[in-house]
Amino acid sequence: MSMAAPEKPVPAIKTPPAVDGSGDGSAPRKLLRLLEVLGSAPRPLRLAEIATDAAIAKPTAHRLLAVLVDQDWAVTHEGGVYEIGPRARAVAATAGRGPANANVDDVLGELSRDISQTVHLGLRAGDHFVYTHKVDGPQAFGIASHLGMQQLLHCTAIGKCILADMNEQEVRELVSRTGLPSRTPNTHTIPASLLDDLGQIRKRGYALDEEENEANIRCLAVPVRVNGRTVGAISASAVTFVCDKEQTIGFASAVKEAALKVQEILR
């Protein structure tokens, strides 16, 4: 396989559904107010809270939130709560800068150079996550991922970081919605096995994908937390016949340092 050219951090664009609104631009202004409310909230909000804070009628807020969710600018979770989505976080990450005046591209670029591997930032989108940033490593073997790509949680290192932030009931409820489809012979397809793995992730502070999503690819990921919640993770992806398990585990310290920097940018 040959290494692909680096990609720009722009998630895939969907064709938006029509938005009802008057010709004076009131609907766009309301969409922006909803984004402001979601972006400043320290926790997921219910529809009534969002409508009140944005000063928008509940039926209108519900309709416009559906547009934001469809476009990944917002996400909705079980129980009818909403929070800012991966597209909004990706834009903030691209434009924002941390204490050292570095943006996410700078942080991931430095990490990739330090460990000589392909690195990703993935952010949660409902019951999945989306790759928002990718920096290819120098190795001559491509990683089958691209920006805007949606991935399952149970078979990826980034996804398992997200699941490890949930309690057992939340994990079981998510699994009941998504199932545990097998991607390789190593994929967790039994809830008990996945839950055991998540317990180990919480103890050591990082997740491993042992060829669970893609043959010959091992990944190590560290969670990215905002306001006390895991919103995604940074991963390092290594080709198994070039980089063994111990070498991959050795990346943990550098990936953790990068995750802390990205957290400061996303706050």
* pLDDT attached to residue 100: 53
pLDDT, tens only, 164-193: 999 999 999 999 999 999 999 999 999 999
* pLDDT attached to residue 97: 56
Check whether 118 has a pLDDT greater than 90: yes
Q: Pull the structure tokens for residue 178.
A: 């998504």
Give φ, ψ of 96 to 5 degrees.
Answer: -75, 160
* pLDDT attached to residue 6: 46
On whether residue 259 sits in a domain, the answer given is yes
pLDDT, tens only, 55-111: 999 999 999 999 988 877 888 887 788 988 877 777 766 655 555 556 888 999 999
* pLDDT attached to residue 186: 97
Percent of the chain residues topping a pLDDT of 90: 56
The better pLDDT of the pair 99, 251 is held by 251
6: which DSSP letter? P
Q: What is the arithmetic mean of pLDDT over 5-22?
A: 45
Q: Round to whole Å and give the CA distance between 3 and 18.
A: 39
* pLDDT attached to residue 248: 97
On whether residue 124 sits in a domain, the answer given is yes
The range of the structural domain enclosing residue 189 comes to: 90-266
On whether residue 22 sits in a domain, the answer given is no
Phi-psi region of 215 (alpha: psi -120 to 50; beta: other; left: phi over 0): beta
On whether residue 214 sits in a domain, the answer given is yes
Give the CATH number of the domain where residue 141 resides: 3.30.450.40
Mean pLDDT for the chain overall: 85
* pLDDT attached to residue 94: 60
State the total domains in the chain: 1
On whether residue 118 sits in a domain, the answer given is yes
* pLDDT attached to residue 221: 98
Strand locations in 139-190 (E): 150-151
On whether residue 111 sits in a domain, the answer given is yes
Beta bridge partners of 115: none
On whether residue 70 sits in a domain, the answer given is no
Beta bridge partners of 74: 84
Do 216 and 239 form a contact (C-beta atoms < 8 A)? yes
Q: What is the arithmetic mean of pLDDT over 105-127?
A: 93
On whether residue 27 sits in a domain, the answer given is no
Single-letter code of the amino acid located at 50: I
Vertex 176 angle, CA 41 and 11, to 5°: 50
Within 8 A by CB and 6+ apart from 261, the residues are: 98, 100, 102, 107
Beta bridge partners of 258: none
